[in-house]
Amino acid sequence: GTADVVVLGAGPAGLVLGNLLLAGGVDCVVLERATSEQVKSRSRAGFLAANTVRILDRHGLAEGLHRRGRTHSTCEFRTEDGRFRLDYATLGRREPHTVHPQHELVTDLLTHYLDAGGRLHFATEAVAVHGADGDRPSVTVRGADGRTGTWQGRYVAGCDGRHGAARRSLPAGSVRHHRLDHGVSWLALLAEAPPSLDAVGYAVHERGFAGHMARTPEVTRYYLQCERGTPPGAWSEDRIWDELALRMRASDYGPLRRGPLLHRAVVDLESDVLEPLRHGSLLLAGDAASLISPSAAKGANLAVLEAELLARALIDDLRHGSPDALADYSARCLEHIWRAQEFSRWMVGLLHRVPGPAGDEAAFHDSLRRSRLASLRTSCSCQDWFAENYVGV
Ligand code: RFL
């Protein structure tokens, strides 16, 4: 088939892009490897920044999140030096988060796109992008039945995540790949249990980090720092709840509301950035452009921001013959990406004993971490800075 813009991937990046291109009168198609059911049920992010909500509002894509999402604005740190709360909607830019599970956002975006007449093919895996050096790039695809085909376009938008075809198809040396392994892993858990506190909980403990995030009144996300290489099934549910209770200091601050674990996965905290986010007629957005550790909940928010910039640039180019925005696309995104990367790295250092140094040096780093928490607890300007970066993208 043909389309002016061939979009790979129906995640937040690909679906925001698809919706905006469609509304802007640009001919596009979205190709997605997974089935519709898989896309609608993949549970991942939940915290949307105020700017993300503004972008979705601007384009009439926020109806579902206003109806079902809830605002959230408090986080609680539990540390060896006691606990403290930050009401971040009264700090920095005075903005709250909106909690709306990512799979619900994706479902909203999908429904909107299909209702508007958008073209989308599920169970269609992009295998490779060809000819990105020129102005007639193509994508080879494979269906669930093994049949192959080709899509041709003016541009290909790689929104197919970190393991997608867009990244794989970049010629060696065409794009610089910056990477950082934070050295920390999390067991990411989804529990069928109401939230245990009315705040995001960050517990810093000598046994490792534990986190608590409300998703819905019935479902709560928990994180438990674990050894790199731990199989997701290694711990029994009882051991997980006991460990969460210990690290969250339930005996001091109140018990956790337990329930069956619906899902578990091990996430290695890693970040990377491709630079530039473009090779000829192949453009990257979302996790395909930059992977960010989930420590500051930035990934989906960056994906939406980049998708809007890319949509505007492509509409300018294809509808109005003006290529300037497309030429600036990568640089504009990278400013936001590096700022988010810096903050997410800071959060990693705030919440964990970062593995690596041993002996005296480890103790030194640990004291730095405690001091960083003390600044956050006591300094108004540090709290403003935190709030601005925590909710901002
Ligand atoms: P996605 O969502 O991965 O979508 C990519 C889509 O591309 C498809 N695909 C292909 N399609 C065709 N051909 C191929 N060859 C393909 N290869 C892949 C995939 O099936 C998929 O549908 O990428 P996108 O759109 O860039 O969006 C990025 C976000 O999903 C991601 O950054 C966030 O989920 C990160 N993240 C969080 N972000 C936040 O902003 N707030 C959070 O609270 C938050 N929590 C999280 C997170 C990520 C987590 N994990 C799983 C690492 C919590 C966790 C545990």
Task: Tell whether omega for the bond before 276 is within 30 degrees of 0, i.e. cis.
Answer: yes
Strands (E), 282-361: 282-284, 290-291
Which of 155, 222, 329, 390 is labelled catalytic? 390
Predicted confidence (pLDDT) per residue in 224-263, tens digit: 999 999 999 999 999 999 999 999 999 999 999 999 999 9
Q: What is the pLDDT of residue 360?
A: 84
Q: What is the DSSP letter of 171?
A: P
Q: What is the pLDDT of residue 275?
A: 98
Q: What span, in angstroms and rounded, lies between the C-alpha atoms of 40 and 370?
A: 41
Q: What is the pLDDT of residue 216?
A: 86
Which of 88, 113, 155, 202 is labelled catalytic? 202
Q: What is the pLDDT of residue 333?
A: 98
Which of 12, 137, 195, 294 is labelled catalytic? 294
Mean pLDDT in residue range 206-214: 94
The per-residue DSSP string of 211-261 comes to EEEE-SSS-EEEEEEE-TT--TTSS-HHHHHHHHHHHTTHHHH-------E
- Give yes or no for a contact between 137 and 281, defined as CB atoms under 8 angstroms apart: yes
Q: Could you tell me the pLDDT band of residue 137, with boundaries at 50, 70 and 90?
A: very high
Asked if the model's pLDDT at residue 356 lies above 90, the reply is no
Q: What is the pLDDT of residue 215?
A: 86
Predicted confidence (pLDDT) per residue in 150-194, tens digit: 999 999 999 999 999 999 999 999 999 999 999 999 999 999 999
Any atom of ligand 1 within 6 Å of the Cβ of 101: no
- Give yes or no for a contact between 103 and 46, defined as CB atoms under 8 angstroms apart: no
Q: What is the pLDDT of residue 355?
A: 73
Q: Could you tell me the pLDDT band of residue 358, with boundaries at 50, 70 and 90?
A: confident
Q: Is 40 a catalytic residue?
A: no
Asked if the model's pLDDT at residue 363 lies above 80, the reply is yes
Mean pLDDT in residue range 313-328: 98
The residue among 393 and 56 whose pLDDT is bigger is 56
Task: Tell whether omega for the bond before 101 is within 30 degrees of 0, i.e. cis.
Answer: no
Q: What span, in angstroms and rounded, lies between the C-alpha atoms of 37 and 353?
A: 39
Any atom of ligand 1 within 6 Å of the Cβ of 306: no
Atom of ligand 1 nearest to the CA of 52: 40
Q: What distance in angstroms lies between residue 302's CA and the mean position of ligand 1's atoms?
A: 11
Q: Could you tell me the pLDDT band of residue 45, with boundaries at 50, 70 and 90?
A: confident
Mean pLDDT in residue range 187-208: 96
- Residue type for 350, please? L
Mean pLDDT in residue range 362-386: 94
Asked if the model's pLDDT at residue 357 lies above 80, the reply is no
Q: Is 202 a catalytic residue?
A: yes
Q: What is the pLDDT of residue 155?
A: 98
Residues 6 or more apart from 131 whose CB is under 8 A from it? 137, 138, 281
- Residue type for 231, please? P
- Give yes or no for a contact between 148 and 128, defined as CB atoms under 8 angstroms apart: no
Q: What distance in angstroms lies between residue 159's CA and the mean position of ligand 1's atoms?
A: 9
Q: What is the pLDDT of residue 97?
A: 95
Q: What is the pLDDT of residue 370?
A: 94
What percent of the chain clears pLDDT 70, i.e. is strictly above it?
100
- Give yes or no for a contact between 231 and 263, defined as CB atoms under 8 angstroms apart: no
Q: What span, in angstroms and rounded, lies between the C-alpha atoms of 361 and 245?
A: 29
Q: What span, in angstroms and rounded, lies between the C-alpha atoms of 250 and 248?
A: 6
Q: Is 294 a catalytic residue?
A: yes
Atom of ligand 1 nearest to the CA of 125: 13
Predicted confidence (pLDDT) per residue in 8-29, tens digit: 999 999 999 999 999 999 999 9
Q: What ipTM was estimated for this complex?
A: 0.97
Q: What is the pLDDT of residue 327?
A: 98
Q: What span, in angstroms and rounded, lies between the C-alpha atoms of 79 and 57?
A: 38
